[in-house]
Amino acid sequence: MSNKPKIVICIGSSCFSRGNAKNVEVAEQYLKDHGLEDEVDVDLSGGLCEGMCADGPNVIIDGKVYNHVDAGVMLDLMKALFPENK
């Protein structure tokens, strides 16, 4: 088991079409740009729904659920939670 921080991005059809398609790119690009690709796991999940679709796009970072995540929010979360380590 790795104890890396984990970002779970919902790719159920509702979240995916409402913003998470883009958020996957935002998260991966951020990690790449900051040399953090090996420090943080990104998981794509199709099964987060359980009544959460209406509040999507949904992203879970280290067990905390973030709702209504657009690309700007995603970038802010990345900056806040995974500061550049150089």
Q: Detail the DSSP E strand segments found in 1-86.
A: 6-10, 41-45, 59-61, 64-66
- Residue whose C-beta lies closest to ligand FES: 12
* The only residue of 42, 49, 60, 75 in contact with ligand FES, by rule CB under 6 A: 49
Span from 10-18, 32-40, 63-71, 77-85 in contact with ligand FES (CB under 6 A) = 10-18
- Candidates 26, 29, 17; CA nearest to 57 is 17
CA distance 20 to 79: 17
| Binding site residues, ligand FES, CB under 6 A | 10, 12-15, 48-49, 52-53, 56, 58
